[in-house]
């Protein structure tokens, strides 16, 4: 580490500690707005709902009060800017969040600060509103330290990252000129060099008979559900007898109560992110397996639920015959996260993360055939391109060096199944905020709570500060590299 970088980081540490309480309050201000993204085409100035527009306006107001230039583009992306305009470096955050769901210990939109843990709890405190506050803090340090930059710095605040990144697609379609190079603090350190492509959509199968209702999921494709339920037109004694035939581990995750129509059966699992399903237990599989093995369904719903049990029995495409893996980005994942019984059909929402070298068109064809063999047809499917940048890129190497110098770690750059704005914004590299090897204590929460898409989402404040102390020299280093790039 050079003396100049060492001094810069020392100044950053002092500044961040001085402004710690202010940073917490800024993050609470954003996280207390329930900015769940939803399509609202009737509102041109708020295409993803009024709460998403409110959080963008709030962030823009923060930037103005701090003396930066601000604007909201197309009603869906807030931009806070400083410095020259000829060349620019972007920091890409998003202020929309996945739905909160129920079962929280703390109110999901209170952004409660727990001083004994130096942590905030609330939907969006981590994913990804912390990144916006981190970026704003870095811009303030650049200005307060009077660091001369050749490039301007733009903090982008999106409002549809969790719902297909339509915000940035709208800007691209409108001809928006993005920064020359951007960092996306919506992953983990060090540099993310590849992201799998994606498939989301709905399939359905006829499901008539004694299945009266079935629902699962909170509306987001990328959240593996930990609750599922259904209503059956059967007697309580019959249902209890059938339940007793299951193995004890499956019984333990199923609950049954009598209701006027018959019985309601609930299933519990472990929530998680669709990009790494191995950490979760899909409640939809628990329920469909339970119903199948109870042999209690009648009519076409019996086949539909049995097919769903098969589809959810693994998370890597084996059931569909599409398992695939490459050296760049690893194995394909495929999970079914949403369910509803509607007009005699069982509709299932799915999320797949597709390796960089997997041919998307042939994959979709194979999936369609596999689903058809189980009685399911496609309602709608959307695909997203993969992202890949060479590990030998000078920008990748520069960011890796800064990370290693400041952390003392030798973690390699990595690929992942999660998708960030790197997929849709030109020349955008995902870098942080998560820190490898962090052993953060979540024992003050129930098992399964604390994750970014789960109940009681947590941000440890020091993680935000650590990210800012890495981003500050990173922006300075990238500024020099871009200045030396031929026009």
Angle at 67 between CA 140 and CA 480, to 5 degrees: 45
pLDDT for 114: 97
Whether 41 shows a pLDDT value over 80: the answer reads no
The mean per-residue pLDDT over the stretch 20-39 comes to: 95
Question: 404 with 259, same domain?
Answer: no
pLDDT at residue 487 in the model: 40
Which range of residues forms the domain containing residue 186?
Answer: 3-195+387-483
Task: Grade residue 395 by pLDDT with cuts at 50, 70 and 90.
Answer: very high
Residues 297, 208: one domain?
yes
pLDDT at 342: 95
> What pLDDT, on the 0 to 100 scale, is given for residue 42?
61
Q: Please state the rounded mean pLDDT for residues 84-89.
A: 95
Tell me the pairing of strands 88-94 and 152-158.
parallel
pLDDT above 90 for 456: yes
* pLDDT tier for residue 44 given thresholds of 50, 70 and 90: confident
Do residues 93 and 395 lie in contact, with contact meaning Cβ atoms separated by under 8 Å? Answer: no
The pLDDT of 462-481, averaged and rounded, is: 97
Domain harbouring 368, CATH code = 3.30.70.360
Give the range among 83-92, 412-421, 436-445 with minimum mean pLDDT: 436-445
pLDDT band for position 40 (50/70/90)?
low
Same domain, 449 and 403: yes
What's the rounded Cα separation, in Å, for the pair 425 and 181?
10
Between CA 22 and CA 396 the distance in angstroms is 32
**Span 185-206, average pLDDT:** 96
Q: Are residues 202 and 348 in contact, defined by beta-carbon separation less than 8 angstroms?
A: yes
What DSSP state is assigned to residue 281? B
Task: Give the single-character DSSP code of 150.
Answer: S
Cβ burial, residue 324 (10 Å; 0-12/13-18/19+): middle
* 420 and 369 within one domain: no
Pick the last residue of a domain from 384, 399, 426: 384
Confidence category of residue 163, pLDDT binned at 50, 70, 90 = confident
Instruction: Give φ, ψ of 156 to 5 degrees.
Output: -95, 135
Instruction: Indicate if 470 and 460 belong to the same structural domain.
Output: yes
Q: What is the mean pLDDT of the chain?
A: 95
222 contacts 98 by C-beta, under 8 angstroms: yes
Q: What is the CATH number of the domain that holds 179?
A: 3.40.630.10
State the pTM of this model: 0.81
**Residue % of the chain over a pLDDT of 70:** 99
Residues 215 and 306 in one domain: yes
Are residues 423 and 283 located together in one domain of the fold? no
C-alpha angle 159-163-164 in degrees, rounded to nearest 5:
105
Number of domains making up the chain: 2
Report pLDDT digits (tens) over 107-136: 999 999 999 999 999 999 999 999 999 999
3-state DSSP assignment of residue 179: coil
Q: How far apart are CA 218 and CA 176, in angstroms?
A: 33
For residue 279, is pLDDT > 90?
no
Residues 372 and 391 in one domain: no
| Chain position carrying tokens 């599989």 | 285
Task: Give the mean model confidence (pLDDT) for residues 270-277.
Answer: 90
Rg of the chain over CA atoms, in angstroms?
24
Helix (H, G, I), strand (E, B) or coil at 159: coil
pLDDT tens profile 336-372: 999 999 999 999 999 999 999 999 999 999 999 999 9
Asked whether residue 431 falls in the same domain as residue 365, the answer is no
Domain's final residue, options 327, 353, 384: 384
Residue 458 pLDDT: 97
In the predicted structure, residue 268 carries a pLDDT above the cut 80 = yes
Closest CA relative to residue 368, chosen from 380, 357, 358:
380
Task: Answer yes or no: do 232 and 297 share one domain.
Answer: yes
120 contacts 456 by C-beta, under 8 angstroms: no
Would you tell me the crossing angle of helices 20-31 and 129-144 to the nearest 10 degrees?
140
Q: How confident is the model at residue 217 (pLDDT cuts 50, 70, 90)?
A: confident
Q: Please check whether residue 210 is in contact with residue 118, taking contact to mean a CB–CB distance below 8 angstroms.
A: no
Does residue 465 have a pLDDT over 90? Answer: yes
Which of 351, 384, 417 terminates a domain? The answer is 384
In terms of domains, do 149 and 226 share one? no
How many other CB atoms are there within 10 angstroms of residue 34's CB atom? 18
Same domain? 309 vs 426 = no
How far apart CA 267 and CA 308 sit, in angstroms, is 15
């Amino acid at each position: 580490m050079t003396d100049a970088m060492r001094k810069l980081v020392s100044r950053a540490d002092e500044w961040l500690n001085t402004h710690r309480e202010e940073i917490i309050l800024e993050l609470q201000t954003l996280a207390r707005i329930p900015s769940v993204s939803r399509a609202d085409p009737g509102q041109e100035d708020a295409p993803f709902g009024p709460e998403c527009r409110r959080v963008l306006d709030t962030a823009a107001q923060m930037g103005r009060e701090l003396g930066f230039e601000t604007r909201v583009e197309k009603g869906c992306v807030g931009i806070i800017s400083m410095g020259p305009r000829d060349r620019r470096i972007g920091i890409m955050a998003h202020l929309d969040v996945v739905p909160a769901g129920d079962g929280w210990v703390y109110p999901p939109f209170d952004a409660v600060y727990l001083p004994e843990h130096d942590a905030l709890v609330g939907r969006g405190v981590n994913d990804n509103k912390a990144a916006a506050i981190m970026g704003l803090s870095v811009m303030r340090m650049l200005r307060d330290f009077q660091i001369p930059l050749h490039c301007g710095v733009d903090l982008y605040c999106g409002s549809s990252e969790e719902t297909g990144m339509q915000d940035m697609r709208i800007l691209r379609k409108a001809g928006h000129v993005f920064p020359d190079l951007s960092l996306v603090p919506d992953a983990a350190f060090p540099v993310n060099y590849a992201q799998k492509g994606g498939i989301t959509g709905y399939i359905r199968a006829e499901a008539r008979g004694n299945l009266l209702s079935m629902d699962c999921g909170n509306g987001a494709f990328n959240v593996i559900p930990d609750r599922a339920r259904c209503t059956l037109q059967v007697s309580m004694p019959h249902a209890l007898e059938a339940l007793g035939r299951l193995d004890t581990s499956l019984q333990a995750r199923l609950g049954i109560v009598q209701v006027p129509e018959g019985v309601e059966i609930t299933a519990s699992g472990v929530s998680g992110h669709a990009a790494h399903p191995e950490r979760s237990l899909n409640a939809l599989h628990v329920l469909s397996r339970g119903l199948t093995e109870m042999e209690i369904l009648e009519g076409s719903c019996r086949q539909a639920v049995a097919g769903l049990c098969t589809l959810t029995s693994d998370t890597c495409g084996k059931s569909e015959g599409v398992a695939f893996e490459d050296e760049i980005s690893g194995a394909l994942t495929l999970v079914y996260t949403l369910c509803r019984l509607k007009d005699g059909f069982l509709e299932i929402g799915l999320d797949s993360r597709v390796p960089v070298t997997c041919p998307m068109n042939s994959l979709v064809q194979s999936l369609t055939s596999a689903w058809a063999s189980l009685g399911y047809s496609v309602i709608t499917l959307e695909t997203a391109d993969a992202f890949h940048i060479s590990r030998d890129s000078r920008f990748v190497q520069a960011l890796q060096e800064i990370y290693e110098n400041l952390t003392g770690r030798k973690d390699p750059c990595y690929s992942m199944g999660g998708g960030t704005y790197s997929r849709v914004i030109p020349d955008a590299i995902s870098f942080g905020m998560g820190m490898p090897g962090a052993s953060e204590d979540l024992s003050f929460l129930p098992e399964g709570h604390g994750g970014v898409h789960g109940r009681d989402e947590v941000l440890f404040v020091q993680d935000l500060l650590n990210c800012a102390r890495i981003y500050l020299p990173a922006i300075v280093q990238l500024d020099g590299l871009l200045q030396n790039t031929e026009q």
